[in-house]
Amino acid sequence: MRKKRPTMGDVARLSGVSQTTVSFVINNTPNTNISKKTRAAVLKAVKQLGYTPNAMAIGLRTSQSRVIGLVTDEIATTPFAGKIVQGAQDAAREEQRLLILMNSGKDASVEDEEIDTLLGRQVDGVIFATMRHRIIEPSHLLYQIPAVLLNCRDVDSTLPSVIPDEYLGGYQATEALLQSNHRCIGMINTSENVPASQLREQGFRQALADHGIPLEESMIVYGEDGIAKTGYDGAKVLLSRYERMTALFCFNDRVAMGAYDALRQLHKRIPQDVAVIGFDNYEVISANLHPQLTTMQLPHYEMGRWAVETVLNISKSAAEDRASPPMMLPCPLVLRSSV
Amino acid sequence: MRKKRPTMGDVARLSGVSQTTVSFVINNTPNTNISKKTRAAVLKAVKQLGYTPNAMAIGLRTSQSRVIGLVTDEIATTPFAGKIVQGAQDAAREEQRLLILMNSGKDASVEDEEIDTLLGRQVDGVIFATMRHRIIEPSHLLYQIPAVLLNCRDVDSTLPSVIPDEYLGGYQATEALLQSNHRCIGMINTSENVPASQLREQGFRQALADHGIPLEESMIVYGEDGIAKTGYDGAKVLLSRYERMTALFCFNDRVAMGAYDALRQLHKRIPQDVAVIGFDNYEVISANLHPQLTTMQLPHYEMGRWAVETVLNISKSAAEDRASPPMMLPCPLVLRSSV
């Protein structure tokens, strides 16, 4: 048997009383009619077992809720939910809060219903998280409670929000290629109207401009979506257009996965003939590709932490103080073997 | 502005009273001293807005907790957590329950502390989920409350549990290869002492035996872990040993991803020269490989649903009725292009 931390239930069993009685004794609850003998038995069991009250449980007794609600739009279909939830959970635990997780499946009426339920539960705050970085119109219910947007923001920044710094990530990915002496660099992007596509490309363009590297428009190709096929098709097009191209900045790791396939078919070695850099650090891909993929890491864990810490601070400040520009967290470079 | 479902807050604003007053009127709460005039104003606003009370909120008022705790061991590092959580959430929602998510990070004392916290919250039940299928020694706290194990079980089945039918999955994966007329089939497994490795291999062996296909022990190779390198090395070894080998059963999709790399280097076409079947249906890999990977799907969503439905039924039955053999859910074949 593994070593167990003694619990209130253990104390109850050893002293032969109910868990409620143990709780009354430990908390010195007034007006409970507990006999001296029972009290002594409980305290003896506490000592004998080395029982210490659960810090979190103590926290819970001192407040009405101590719960934070995390409403997400599509947890099941994305690989990133785990790290967001993990970051939020770790921070909630440190702040002695529990995390209620709800999923709205991108349905605005379900979303409202869920937030309404959380309001009814008097949660300390609500975090509304999207799995893809996007601009949203927040539910009006989020203005009735401390609320933080995670991986999304509203156009006017009327709610605090935390997002990845996609522009800086694109800039730094390009710089990583430039530092390895690449001078003819292509980008395989998606044509989606989303911040990630637009800002990563802006960062790419600016980094080249800042280093005096000329960019032809046909050095950027676009697929419909951030999937492997986009990378496969994109790499084939770029390398047929530019024989001298030695590096590819891929919109994300899945696109890079497809680019790998194309490069193999073209008998190009990675990174000796063509370097590849991805984005997201979606580890199941990036760490399993051959060679392992150098990429920019989305700060999902850190965003989860920031959101919890921020939503708890809001509850202490006035609602009109809420509006602020989005907090942009950097996307660090993860060096592996493809650059 | 998007169309919003009217809330109690909207009713309060329109009728010029507090949300509490609206709640009192709607629920006919006794002894509230609300004037006839106020009551009429609230009911008029309810009618005007078409407000209907939130079904979930009603459920919440009729019980002390209506919360289910989901304790997981490592949500962040696994791609499967999302589907487990989604299945549990969907079922909880249908049963008008909320889901509190906690993560113990494989630390037994943290695990006990979390379950203890949930007990203190008087949750309706606890689901203990592991991200990899394994045999565990459950926390003694799980016996103090309705509890279900998800993707794990205890040796003696003293708690209800739901796991994937790994054996049947291995059997059916092999049958899929046999039905495509493959007769010399290799397996790339891992040497880990876990149910998935052992049972998938048993299914593989039994399917070959049932179809009268001879198996040489050297047709099964083992890597340390279920990663791409295992598949890359394994495929190279198997195809150097058996020139006539035309099909590979890979322990999981990551192993298959590595096998793809090796087959490409060996100039073997998939599936024309060598068919590949994976396991897990980890979609980011299986749907992005080139060609897309045929694989067996782990029933994570279904396990999440089953666990919630079961834990709520336990609360209605006696504790001594709990023990039962694990519920094994099938892993359906997902046909793509690699077989």
Residue B205, domain CATH? 3.40.50.2300
Residues of A in contact with B57 (CB under 8 A): 116-117, 120
Instruction: Compute the average pLDDT of residues B318-335.
Output: 82
Angstrom distance (rounded) from CA B220 to CA B174:
13
Q: Model pTM? A: 0.79
The pLDDT score that the predictor gives to residue B310 is 94
Give the rounded percent of residues in chain A with a pLDDT score beyond 70: 90
Task: State whether B120 and A54 contact (CB < 8 Å).
Answer: yes
DSSP character string of B8-62: HHHHHHHHTS-HHHHHHHHTT-SS----HHHHHHHHHHHHHHT----HHHHHHHT
* B283 assigned to some structural domain: yes
Same domain? For B157 and B75 the reply is yes
Same domain? For B80 and B139 the reply is yes
The pLDDT score that the predictor gives to residue B334 is 97
The pLDDT score that the predictor gives to residue B122 is 80
A302: left (phi over 0), alpha (psi -120 to 50) or beta: alpha
Task: State whether B79 and A284 contact (CB < 8 Å).
Answer: yes
In terms of average pLDDT, the best of A280-294, B144-158, B207-221 is B207-221
Token pair for A170: 């694109």
pLDDT band (50, 70, 90) for residue B321: low
Query: DSSP label at B298?
Result: P
**What is the CATH number for B35?**
1.10.260.40
Same domain? For A147 and A185 the reply is no
Angstrom distance (rounded) from CA B18 to CA B8:
9
Sign of torsion over alpha carbons A91, A195, A174, A209: negative
Q: Could you tell me if B293 and B253 are in contact, meaning their C-beta atoms sit under 8 angstroms apart?
A: yes
Instruction: Compute the average pLDDT of residues B89-113.
Output: 86
Token pair for A20: 């409620």
Of A76, A140, A284, the CB nearest to B86: A76
pLDDT band (50, 70, 90) for residue A25: confident
| B330/A85: higher pLDDT | B330
Angstrom distance (rounded) from CA A89 to CA A86:
5
Residues of A in contact with B147 (CB under 8 A): none
Query: In the Cβ-directed half-sphere of B170, how many Cα atoms lie within 13 Å?
Result: 23
The pLDDT score that the predictor gives to residue A120 is 80
Task: State whether A98 and B102 contact (CB < 8 Å).
Answer: yes
Task: State whether B56 and A140 contact (CB < 8 Å).
Answer: no
* pLDDT tens readout for residues A130-152: 988 999 999 999 988 999 999 99
* B28 assigned to some structural domain: yes
For residue A291, say if its preceding peptide bond is cis, omega within 30 degrees of 0.
Answer: yes
Q: Does residue B320 surpass a pLDDT of 60? A: no
Same domain? For B292 and B171 the reply is yes
- The count of domains in chain A is 3
Same domain? For A212 and A245 the reply is yes
Same domain? For A285 and A306 the reply is no
* B60 assigned to some structural domain: no
| A117/B303: higher pLDDT | B303
Token pair for A189: 């992007």
Residues of A in contact with B304 (CB under 8 A): none
Closest C-alpha among B133, B125, B13 to residue B84: B133
Instruction: Compute the average pLDDT of residues B44-61.
Output: 65
* A338 assigned to some structural domain: no
Q: Which of A5, A10, A142 to mutate to test the interface with B (most CBs of B within 10 A)?
A: A5
pLDDT band (50, 70, 90) for residue A319: low
Local structure of B120: helix, strand or coil: helix
One-letter amino acid of B4:
K
* B58 assigned to some structural domain: no
Same domain? For B229 and B275 the reply is yes
Report the mean per-residue pLDDT for chain B. Answer: 88
Q: Which of A10, A116, A136 to mutate to test the interface with B (most CBs of B within 10 A)?
A: A116
Q: Does residue A299 surpass a pLDDT of 90? A: yes
Tokens 């937030």 belong to residue: A115
Instruction: Compute the average pLDDT of residues A84-107.
Output: 87
| B97/A233: higher pLDDT | A233
Closest C-alpha among B205, B290, B162, B93 to residue A117: B93
Task: State whether B98 and A102 contact (CB < 8 Å).
Answer: yes
Query: In the Cβ-directed half-sphere of B149, how many Cα atoms lie within 13 Å?
Result: 33
Same domain? For A148 and A179 the reply is no
Q: Could you tell me if B243 and B215 are in contact, meaning their C-beta atoms sit under 8 angstroms apart?
A: no
- Would you call B269 an interface residue with chain A, using a CB distance cutoff of 8 Å? no
* pLDDT tens readout for residues A242-298: 999 999 999 999 999 999 999 999 999 999 999 999 999 998 899 999 999 999 999
Enclosing domain of residue B216: 166-296
Same domain? For A190 and A129 the reply is no
Q: Does residue B62 surpass a pLDDT of 70? A: no
A28: how many CB neighbours lie within 10 A of its CB? 8
Same domain? For A131 and A208 the reply is no
Local structure of B156: helix, strand or coil: coil
* A217 assigned to some structural domain: yes
Angstrom distance (rounded) from CA B267 to CA B261:
10
Instruction: Compute the average pLDDT of residues A67-75.
Output: 87
Residues of B in contact with A99 (CB under 8 A): 100-102
The pLDDT score that the predictor gives to residue A234 is 98
Q: Which of B288, B289, B302, B308 to mutate to test the interface with A (most CBs of A within 10 A)?
A: B288
The pLDDT score that the predictor gives to residue A233 is 98
Task: State whether B108 and A258 contact (CB < 8 Å).
Answer: no
The pLDDT score that the predictor gives to residue B61 is 46
Instruction: Compute the average pLDDT of residues B93-119.
Output: 85
| B107/B64: higher pLDDT | B107
ipTM for the complex shown: 0.74
Report the mean per-residue pLDDT for chain A. Answer: 88
pLDDT band (50, 70, 90) for residue B1: very low
Q: Which of A280, A290, A297 to mutate to test the interface with B (most CBs of B within 10 A)?
A: A290
* pLDDT tens readout for residues A47-60: 888 776 654 444 44
Q: What is the largest CA-CA distance in chain A?
A: 90
The pLDDT score that the predictor gives to residue B59 is 41
Same domain? For A136 and A43 the reply is no
Sign of torsion over alpha carbons A303, A304, A305, A307: positive
For residue B4, what is the nearest residue in chain A, using CA coordinates?
Answer: A109
Same domain? For B280 and B313 the reply is no
* B182 assigned to some structural domain: yes
Angstrom distance (rounded) from CA B322 to CA B147:
9
Pairing, β B333-334 against β B295-296: antiparallel
Would you give the distance in Å from CA A31 to the centre of its chain?
A: 47
Residues A299-321 as b or e (16 or more Cβ within 10 Å = b):
bbbbbbbbbbebbbebeeeeeee
Residues of B in contact with A122 (CB under 8 A): none
The pLDDT score that the predictor gives to residue A191 is 97
Phi, psi torsion values for A236, nearest 5 degrees = -65, -45
Q: CB within 8 A of A156, min separation 6: which ones?
A: A323
